[in-house]
Structure 1
């Protein structure tokens, strides 16, 4: 038995199999935009650890920053004591927002969403929160109440968080969605008139671009019109930028594409440079929870913060090339000669290629395309029901990006 099969067999024996692997990749080490398995095979990373390693693997400045911090201290709970590094990163995050902000550090995206929901309820003294169908916000019980990209994510976990409502996302694939004006009318004339008084709604929570749901880019007028509606009723707007934030879409935050100012922004993934770190960044006047009402032990870990400081210094320098390389990748995918390619969509280096067989999602085609890409040396992942998703490191070399994309394109063409 080779080493790959041995690890996979023992993984099946000792780890709970509640997650799905797209193909049998057993990672040994990685550098930049290249990943190597335990048998020495080389792959082009087109998923960056699900959008986490924005600066690529083993970035020298991140390694140097972590090593320097390790000589000082690994941990000292930020919610009970103080350290300067947390202030430095919070100041940087605040400076990137279009409003005066305060920060609460977490360990993950789902924890950021949970924190944002608590903040919204406390600040407004209202209990209802409205989310959108086909979203992914995490798997803990609060965030899971708004996650709905696949029914298996929610099956047999009820009851979930009470006073939560889900409405259609502005997705042209959804037969219930006509246009943004109709969606806003539905909220005003039906949701608020028949189901819940807007004075009881604390917040709307959404992804500015749905990631796990299939890289769904909403119409340009969606966020501005939703923002206007929430302001009219004194409702907060929570934007989940866990996947879209920190440069992924060609701007530091995806909400910037739509010229809106949210009240609370949820971050994680790329924020920690590969280490577990998340954050809720909110308007200063909204971040008004009293001492003792919300805390954690590991949020704002100093090693993760040292990496984050590098990420927040380096990513703004990459935004132009993120857009340029992303455009080249999309053009390459649009050249795919296959009857199964329904659409190529995305922004920056958050790109999806949707496969359909007739009018139905081509799930088997997605699985085959991913396996074939893996065997040929590229590592895309899936999203939605049948979308090939590309989230390469923001630092990926143009040559590698195109080489990897061509592998994906050819894998789709062979279906």
Structure 2
């Protein structure tokens, strides 16, 4: 089987990073139809929290498919979905324990925006430059990690405004962390003063740690400052935890690193161990304004996906997954620090837990997106799958499974070390 023979039947809109045809996966590895095994540090873009085909997840899926695969959650209830709603409410922060299930991250984002408008009766949304929230029309409207995602789709959803996220790529050159924080909070105030009155804003939506924007970790002061601004003006704070949530940063949800509880939270990717599932989560008070029929879904709350999600949560508890994230995250960062000392093209290491990225730049500080592409291609030839991030495409993000081992990290770092030794000449 050759991908080129089937390419004509697939829309070119979906960008393909490789021509690989994968037949199986186990843990940190995928195997193609030729029997070649690849170390996978992409994991479906942080979807497989427990790696490929975790046996507990597979068992839960198989058992549920033998009983019922779907019946539409808006018609009947399913034991697995009801249990999942309760279990999720037990691990979410604050009073975020009312849940609307959907299928993918972008769909959850659109739902969260609708919920915020329904509750506040206000029209405007504020998002951040550097953000990525998805590719549906609503999610695309609030995405600003690259103009390519918005190209040709204007006009989009109205009354959306952008402020600056405290990334060094987006703030004035030379600003330190404190200056970036102050600058970005002032930018929000300026937006209210000159562009949109705060009493017209339904929600501010943000990734507590930006994903595609470069795995950018803001200061606690910034996130708490945004929370305070929202509280002051009656604006809802939405956390997009689709990539950063579910243990990726070492806390169950990234917002917990900043001691901030949002009013609405979206989760997805890792929730069902590889199956398509997401959710909009809020307080009962806010959800009560989302009356029956104001939002809907055909496949959301699917019993098979819910069974997989229950197995994921059970494994998190039994295998101390969060502890492993913190231990392996520290181990990975230590290994990356060694590479940074060795190769001057690595200009930054950032992230939390196992949401970590390295940034490539040239000596004058110019972002080296072309260098990343060479690294990615050579890693691929050495059977390591990697993924870019960052406004300039010069970041290499690590999205290994949350149960990754030291040995698997070592194998990946060895390949990257070898590749950089071949590419980067001092």
TM-score normalized by the length of structure 1: 0.95
Closer, same or farther: CA 354–80 of 1 in aligned 2, 3 Å: same
Q: 1:262-301 alignment to 2 at 5 Å? A: 262-288=262-288, 289-301=290-302
Q: Secondary structure at the match of 1:179?
A: helix
- Please state if 1:156 is matched with 2:161: no
Deviates more, 1:230-239 or 1:393-402: 393-402
1:198 is matched with 198
In structure 1, the partner of 2:345 is: 340
Match of 1:103 among 87, 99, 102: 99
Corresponding pairs, count: 409
The CA distance in 1 between the partners of 2:106 and 2:280, in whole Å, is: 11
Query: How far 1:203 sits from its partner (Å)?
Result: 0.4
Aligned: 1:124 with 2:120: yes
- 2: CA distance, partners of 1:179 / 1:377: 39
Per the TM alignment, residue 370 of structure 1 is displaced from its structure 2 partner at its CA by: 0.8
Moved over 6 A (4+): none
Aligned match for 2:407, one of 399, 409, 412 = 399
Deviation of 1:11 (Å): 4.2
CA deviation digits over 1:161-215, x for unaligned, max 9?
1010011111122234742223222322x21111111111000001111111111
Give the superposition deviation at 1:359.
2.3
8 Å CA contact retained: 1:22, 1:371 = no
Deviates more, 1:171-180 or 1:12-21: 171-180
Determine if the alignment matches structure 1 residue 172 to structure 2 residue 147. no
**Distance in 2 (alpha carbons) for counterparts of 1:142 and 1:339:** 40
Matches for 1:216-255 after TM superposition, within 5 Å = 216-255=216-255
Secondary structure of the residue that 2:419 maps to in structure 1?
helix
Superposition RMSD in Å: 1.4
Match of 1:381 among 381, 384, 387: 387
- In structure 2, distance between residues paired with 1:98 and 1:326: 23
TM-score under structure 2 normalisation? 0.93
Aligned to 2:140: 144
Structure 1 gaps, min length 5: none
Equivalent residues of 2:134, 2:143 under 8 A apart: yes
Are the counterparts in 1 of residues 164 and 187 from structure 2 also a CA contact under 8 Å? no
Q: In the alignment, which of 50, 53, 57 is matched to residue 55 of structure 1?
A: 50
| Per-residue deviation, residues 139-163 of structure 1 (Å, max 9, x unmatched) | 0000101111111111001111101
1:81 Cα shift?
Answer: 2.2
Question: Are 2:171 and 2:180, in contact at CA under 8 Å, matched by a contact in 1?
Answer: no
Unaligned runs of 5+ in 2: none
How far the C-alpha of 1:220 sits from its partner, in A, is 2.4
Deviations 1:309-334 (A, max 9, x none): 01122224211111111111122122
- Give the superposition deviation at 1:118: 0.4
Over 3 Å counting, the alpha-carbon distance change for 1:160 and 1:98 in structure 2 is: same
Deviations along 1:209-247, whole A, 9 cap, x unmatched? 111111111122111111011101111010001001111
Distance 2:369 2:181 in 1: 29
Partner of 1:260: 260
Q: 1:361 to 1:20 in 2, by over 3 A?
A: farther
Check conservation: 1:381, 1:390, Cα contact below 8 A.
yes
